[in-house]
């Protein structure tokens, strides 16, 4: 069969606030071929991602993503790999292309799984999908007592693990951060897995990070996430020599295989966190999972939006039994919740399981999403080259 | 003074062909503050770059570039650095932002130079701009005899150095490539500086590269450029151990300081090639030049479009006397030539000199560019958020 259509949908909450919550909008992708529909989602600014799909060619290595996708044969797994390679070659100089490709790649795995009646993780070569231990992924509270309450609530909601991040952490005094770390540990309880996310605010300032290391050791944090921007490999490496049992985690900003490989090779991280909605989709994420496995680095998904994204981001390491920690967004906006009719829920032991249904196993809630669909249009030389398509 | 306006202009040849020629369109940026106008140019797909400037906010780390630029104070060099940092923080998750920022950053150096009556390289801390030895940057001919003729022509036009790249090189047989290399050397003459550019077609295939090493040594190539994609550091490193006097060159795909630093730290390159129109502008490029200098790696500009771009890309290493090789586009489309009224010409000894005029020292040919200006428009929720501005 051939790819007949690729449609992008810009979904948004009525208002988007200036907070670290990535579930306020969504860039949904629908791919159709041979009577089958696949869905994916770019974890990306929708308008630039759409523009990267439809823009005019600038030169032979700066083509719109659609030039490498529309009309392509899609019959087996090798086709997905081939299409991704084609996008990377023909859109080499189009920076946003990796984000655009990510949602398309997900949709192709969904589509092919439905066509072949297999869940995506089986097509990826895994015999089974092992249970994952989700962590409740949350922002730090405005005060330590709010953070404490959030920790308690995570346990009350059945989570064995919780991650606190962003907000004011890392930006104020060391003492203020130490109080937040302690509050998180107290709220979560002594036996919970505690994860801390700095959100890159120290950029590459090793001293700012080092000042917080002892406190993180004292509260037995499992990892310290994104102390620095993704590329600051030497800063990561230096810090990793000082953190002892607290491992470094990072990688969500990686938008291709090589960036992730570099973090594994040079940054001294213990956990590589991959957003399948940014790195080029499930295909590239799986390649990272394979590589991390050979290098003794644990793979973790990075996900803070819908359960379509969640399913897609769990597929690449579904069959790695020991890589058990998984990110699970717990404070999504209703847009993210409404994106699918089914959801990946915690079982009574605090674990999650990928659906065994074909493809990504999620059903997009088309009727509900019409409430969030926004009109967007791009014109070039007087011609409409993009207009929000019908969602049906 | 404050930044009053930032305008993006999409310029294009009437037809854009599927060839490795990046001068077929342009993304020109105009910044105004305090009655002064600065100009810059993104080396990027125009529409996604414009979308990254005007798109709605997705969350606190995925804001449009304009949120960090419009209204900002711009009185001294520190302001340019601060604005760049703000863009990188507030548009962390907007992949295209680095390309969009690049043109703005150039325009800010142009603007501030005009305001302070200093050429940009002086504001960057260099006392003088040393002459550079430009190489004629060309595509390989379709046949070895065409390549030979191009080499002859480069010498006839006064160039001491020439780079051949793209076309079919690296994609066919080793023998075919060897013939091309020899033809290039013969055309250029024994004393010319010969550079070879593979254009990443081997991705990370060390064997494909190694098979051509002896021929490159035989023709005394000064460098082998982009045998692999920018991120394939380990492949670069392995190859660098086999090439002897032929040094590796790469880095044009870097879109932030860290990517360039990683190539310098881990890839074994002898030359780091930075496109100021991609890496985040003159500011980031200068930071790379400083770092390369401390690590014994030679800095080279990557430029294949207008002389506005050429001036901007020469500023970051203008004061490094020993880093003498410079890329110089010789086959630009008339759009690129018409972009400025003045041009950076070769002197009788085959060297080029940065203009001593304030800012970037180039005058944009507004009247001529109107012939190339294309209408583009982006609408969101029924509102026009971008429409091609007047060019005057």
How would residue B139 be classed by pLDDT, with cut points 50, 70 and 90? Answer: confident
Q: What residues of B are in contact with residue A47 (Cβ under 8 Å)? A: 51, 54-56, 378, 380
Predicted local distance difference test score (pLDDT) of residue A237:
96
Predicted local distance difference test score (pLDDT) of residue A137:
86
Distance CA A187, CA A176 (A): 17
Question: HEC profile for A225-281?
Answer: ECCCCCCCHHHHHHHHCCCCCCEEEECCCCCCHHHHHHHHHHCCCCEEEECCCCCCC
Query: By three-state DSSP, how is residue B216 classified?
Result: helix
The whole-number average pLDDT for the span A136-146 is 92
Predicted local distance difference test score (pLDDT) of residue B231:
86
How would residue B329 be classed by pLDDT, with cut points 50, 70 and 90? Answer: confident
**Backbone angle region of A268, left / alpha / beta, with phi > 0 → left and psi within -120 to 50 → alpha:** left
Q: With 90 as the cut, is the pLDDT of residue A258 above it?
A: yes
Predicted local distance difference test score (pLDDT) of residue A331:
79
Q: How do A25-33 and A298-301 pair as beta strands?
A: unpaired
Predicted local distance difference test score (pLDDT) of residue B392:
82
Q: What is the mean pLDDT of chain B?
A: 96
Predicted local distance difference test score (pLDDT) of residue B386:
98
Q: Angle of helix A282-294 relative to helix A257-266, nearest 10 degrees?
A: 20
The whole-number average pLDDT for the span A191-214 is 93
- Cut 0.90: pTM above it: yes
By Cβ distance, the residue of A52, A204, A259 closest to B48 is A52
By Cβ distance, the residue of B51, B229, B253 closest to A48 is B51
What is the radius of gyration, based on Cα positions, of chain A? 21
Q: What is the mean pLDDT of chain A?
A: 96
Predicted local distance difference test score (pLDDT) of residue A315:
98
Distance CA A2, CA A277 (A): 23
Q: Measured between CA atoms, how close is A64 to chain B, in angstroms?
A: 9
Across the interface, do A57 and B16 touch by the CB < 8 Å criterion? yes
Q: With 90 as the cut, is the pLDDT of residue A20 above it?
A: no
Across the interface, do B48 and A95 touch by the CB < 8 Å criterion? yes
Q: Angle of helix B144-156 relative to helix B174-188, nearest 10 degrees?
A: 20
Across the interface, do B60 and A18 touch by the CB < 8 Å criterion? yes
**Residues B2-58: tens digit of each pLDDT:** 999 999 999 999 999 999 889 999 999 999 999 999 999 999 999 999 999 999 999
Q: With 90 as the cut, is the pLDDT of residue A73 above it?
A: yes
Question: Given the structure tokens 């295209």, which residue do they identify?
Answer: B96
Are residues A243 and A213 in contact, defined by beta-carbon separation less than 8 angstroms? yes
Nearest to A62 by CA among B314, B300, B252, B368: B252
Predicted local distance difference test score (pLDDT) of residue A34:
97
How would residue B246 be classed by pLDDT, with cut points 50, 70 and 90? Answer: very high
Question: Given the structure tokens 């529909």, which residue do they identify?
Answer: A37
**Residues B221-239: tens digit of each pLDDT:** 999 999 998 889 999 999 9
Across the interface, do B253 and A93 touch by the CB < 8 Å criterion? yes
**Residues A332-355: tens digit of each pLDDT:** 999 999 999 999 999 999 999 999
Q: Is the ipTM of this complex over 0.90?
A: yes
A15, A45, A384, best to mutate vs chain B, most B CBs in 10 Å: A45
The whole-number average pLDDT for the span B290-311 is 97
Predicted local distance difference test score (pLDDT) of residue B229:
87
Dihedral sign of CA atoms B62, B65, B70, B71 in order: positive
Q: With 90 as the cut, is the pLDDT of residue B167 above it?
A: no
């Amino acid at each position: 069969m051939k790819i007949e259509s690729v449609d992008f949908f810009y979904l948004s909450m009525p208002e988007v606030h200036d907070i670290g919550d990535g579930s306020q909008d969504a860039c949904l992708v629908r791919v159709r071929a041979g009577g089958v529909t696949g869905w994916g989602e770019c974890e990306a600014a929708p308008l630039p991602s759409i523009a990267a799909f439809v823009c005019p060619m600038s030169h032979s290595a700066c083509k719109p993503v659609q030039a490498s996708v529309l009309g392509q044969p899609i019959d087996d797994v090798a086709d997905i790999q081939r299409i991704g390679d084609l996008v990377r070659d023909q859109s080499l100089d189009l920076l946003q292309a990796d984000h655009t490709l990510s949602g398309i790649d997900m949709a192709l795995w969904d589509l092919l799984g439905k066509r072949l009646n297999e869940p995506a993780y089986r097509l990826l070569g895994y015999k089974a999908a092992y249970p994952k231990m989700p962590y409740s992924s949350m922002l730090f509270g405005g005060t330590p007592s709010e953070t404490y309450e959030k920790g308690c609530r995570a346990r009350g909601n059945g989570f064995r693990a919780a991650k606190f991040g962003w907000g004011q952490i890392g930006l104020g005094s060391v003492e203020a951060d130490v109080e937040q770390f302690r509050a998180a540990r107290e709220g979560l309880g002594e036996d919970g897995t505690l994860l801390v996310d700095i959100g890159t605010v120290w950029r590459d300032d090793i001293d700012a990070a080092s000042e917080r290391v002892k406190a993180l050791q004292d509260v037995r944090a499992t990892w310290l996430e994104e102390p620095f921007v993704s590329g600051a490999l030497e800063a990561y490496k230096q810090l990793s020599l000082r953190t002892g049992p607290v491992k470094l985690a990072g990688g969500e900003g990686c938008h291709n295989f090589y960036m992730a490989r570099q973090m594994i090779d040079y940054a001294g991280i213990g956990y590589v966190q991959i957003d399948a909605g940014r790195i080029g989709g499930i295909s590239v994420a799986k390649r990272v999972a394979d590589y991390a496995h050979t290098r003794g680095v644990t793979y973790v998904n990075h996900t803070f939006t819908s359960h379509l994204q969640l399913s897609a981001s769990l597929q690449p390491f579904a069959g790695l039994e020991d890589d058990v920690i998984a990110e699970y967004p717990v404070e999504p906006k209703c847009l993210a919740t409404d994106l699918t009719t089914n959801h990946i829920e915690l079982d009574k032991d605090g674990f999650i399981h990928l659906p065994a249904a074909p493809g990504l196993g999620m059903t997009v809630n088309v009727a509900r999403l019409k409430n969030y669909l926004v009109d967007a249009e791009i014109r070039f030389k007087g011609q409409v080259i993009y207009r929000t398509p019908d969602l049906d």
